[in-house]
Amino acid sequence: MTDHFKLDLTQRPRRLRRTASLRAMVEETVLRPADFVAPLFVIEGKAAPEPIGSMPGVRRLCIGDAVKECRALAKLGVRAVALFPKLDGSLKDAEGSAALSEDALILRAVRAVKRAVPELTVMTDIALDPYTTHGHDGVLSEDGGEVANDRTVDLLREMAVLHARAGVDLVAPSDMMDGRVGAIRRALDAAGFEQTGIMAYSVKFASAYYGPFREAVGSARAAGTAPLDKRTYQMNPANRREALRELELDDAEGADILMVKPAGLYLDIIREVRGVTRKPIAAYQVSGEYAQIHAAAERGWLELAPARNESLLAIKRAGADLILTYFAKDMALALR
């Protein structure tokens, strides 16, 4: 073996990887705090933050603590939060009636955050699963066999108007009912909320990675019962063409931002939908994705920060403009 062997190469891509400065100059995808939306879980009263066992570092917060967290996020450059309520079981029923209360926990949280941090974009989930005893995203048919599409959409219209009145910037229907984006848009406009935007969970798959979130909002199955089966409304993970169809429908019905959920397992879908719309694309790095990175790091199988960073970089590189992630605050701190 000789050290004097030279390949006759004109093209040597490694030239631009030789130093940190060169690598930074030609970096194609860059993460910023403003790319992230921080999901926050809100609870009633003035209780201390409640750790969520399956989501290390994530806690349920009372409204006062949620406001403090929003202030901290805004100072770090995170421009948006997504608020989710965790209700006491006594407030739930089969119809999700608490979702239409003028004094709902989530509405009080929105008002408090918008008063304290008016520059922060606040979005809220429009779905019934935190409010129903059965944990589904809508009301059930009379025989209980499936979620009733049109009755659910009627309730979601009312829910969206209540949230707009409370001051949210974006309502985010996550239910996957047919026609709900158009119905919500018409309801908002009729109520005088033409400027309230819709971030639609347009391509939401029936994923095995939602478990920790369901623990966080209290919509998980009770012990000894069968897992929730949402495959009659959430999408089949096997389907790509159907994803495009769903996204195109929400686009046409007036969604302002279109979302793919989950993110990390569906980078191909993010890339594909990026090519069919000029509207912003959001992607949700879901609770199971977050939990598995933490679990592997706790066992010493991965380094937490590099794995976290790479997972988020991949989502943005695939075409996402916004990333909902439980790593939002940690990433904003790391990017300072």
Q: Which residues contact 152 (CB under 8 A, 6 or more apart)?
A: 128, 137, 138, 139, 175, 177, 180
197-216 tens-digit pLDDT: 999 999 999 999 999 999 99
d(CA 312, CA 301): 19
Structural domains counted in the chain: 1
Tokens of 45: 């009263």
Q: Is 261 a catalytic residue?
A: yes
In a domain, 7, yes or no: no
CATH number for 49: 3.20.20.70
Catalytic residue among 204, 230, 316, 329: 204
pTM here is 0.95
| Average pLDDT rounded to a whole number, residues 321-329 | 98
pLDDT tier at 223 (50, 70, 90 boundaries)? very low
d(CA 62, CA 47): 6
- pLDDT of residue 168 exceeding 70: yes
| Average pLDDT rounded to a whole number, residues 217-222 | 74
Show the beta-strand stretches assigned E in the chain: 36-43, 50-51, 59-62, 80-85, 121-126, 170-173, 197-204, 257-261, 281-284, 322-324
Q: Which residues contact 301 (CB under 8 A, 6 or more apart)?
A: none
Of the two residues 142 and 206, the one the predictor is more confident about is 206
pLDDT tier at 276 (50, 70, 90 boundaries)? very high
Backbone angles phi, psi at 104, to 5 degrees: -60, 145
DSSP 234: S
Q: How many CB atoms are located within 10 Å of the residue 71 CB?
A: 14
| Average pLDDT rounded to a whole number, residues 237-261 | 98
| Average pLDDT rounded to a whole number, residues 43-70 | 96
Res 170: pLDDT: 98
The single-letter code of the amino acid at 12 is R
- pLDDT of residue 19 exceeding 80: yes
Res 79: pLDDT: 98
- Supply the mean pLDDT for the chain: 95
Instruction: Choose the weakest-confidence range: 95-104, 219-228, 235-244.
Output: 219-228
d(CA 121, CA 273): 24
In a domain, 86, yes or no: yes
d(CA 159, CA 164): 9
In a domain, 66, yes or no: yes
Angle, in degrees to the nearest 10, between helices 105-116 and 149-166? 30
Q: How many CB atoms are located within 10 Å of the residue 23 CB?
A: 11
Q: Is 204 a catalytic residue?
A: yes
Tokens of 315: 């989502």
Quote the percentage of the chain above a pLDDT of 70: 97
Q: Which residues contact 18 (CB under 8 A, 6 or more apart)?
A: none
In a domain, 288, yes or no: yes
Domain extent for 136: 29-334
pLDDT tier at 222 (50, 70, 90 boundaries)? very low
- pLDDT of residue 9 exceeding 60: yes
Of the two residues 112 and 226, the one the predictor is more confident about is 112
d(CA 276, CA 5): 49
CA trace torsion 118, 121, 122, 124 (10° rounding): 160
Res 220: pLDDT: 73
pLDDT tier at 227 (50, 70, 90 boundaries)? low
In a domain, 13, yes or no: no
d(CA 250, CA 203): 9
74-131 tens-digit pLDDT: 999 999 999 999 999 999 999 999 999 999 999 999 999 999 999 999 999 999 999 9
Res 144: pLDDT: 83
pLDDT tier at 221 (50, 70, 90 boundaries)? low
Catalytic residue among 92, 230, 261, 316: 261
- pLDDT of residue 10 exceeding 50: yes
